[in-house]
Amino acid sequence: MNPVHIVAKEGSISPLVLMPGDPLRAKYIAENFLENPVLINEVRNMLGFTGTYKGQKVTVIASGMGCPSMGIYAYELAKFYGVKKIIRIGTSGSLNKNIHISDLVVGVDARSMSTFAYAFSKDETDIEYADKELLKNIKSTSKDKSNVKFGHILTSDIFDVYSDITPTLDKLKFYDPDAVEMETFALYHIAKITNIKAASIVTVVDSKYEPDVIVTPEERQTNLNEMITLSLEAIIK
């Protein structure tokens, strides 16, 4: 079988990949952080680019939103294009009063109540883990940054700003998530079954503890430079 969602020339995708959710964020990263970026995928407008960062070849390609979309793109990268490391870079909501808007959360693990893992590989797990080597790289890169927190991520099927996720949280016994988003669990599961390394870094853009702080769509797209730089530095180590 050939990939149908990423159609790129052989050798055009680096083994090192950053995955934002938004295709326009992928374009922003390529244009502002990579040298000599080249468009390598535009199927369904899921933009992907390959360039160099500090002399190393890096690809940035969007994942779309939710576990199903992340599952498609992460799987094709690992299965068909020889990708070895993926760091998801995205946005999240805070579920911890000590984690504030603009803080970065590194997902040590991710939990989900979805059926993604079982549907994909008959795996009944509801928790997946980041790669320890990538976590070590992120930790050493961010050692002087007080706003980088290592914690637990809840991967939800709904956008929590629109709907109350308290019933979900009530069912997650013995799990105290720090941030909520929609893709990390799927990435970690795909990484496990394809034997690649994966991690997730998310920037907090909303919090029930800071309801008056508003981050605009434009800021969500472009004002994430600290997370982008951290992920680039960590993935090339």
- Residues annotated as catalytic are 206
116-125 long-range contacts (CB < 8 A, ≥24 apart) are: 116/67, 116/68, 116/71, 116/185, 116/186, 116/189, 117/185, 117/189, 120/71, 120/189, 120/190, 120/193, 121/189, 121/193, 123/189, 123/193, 125/189
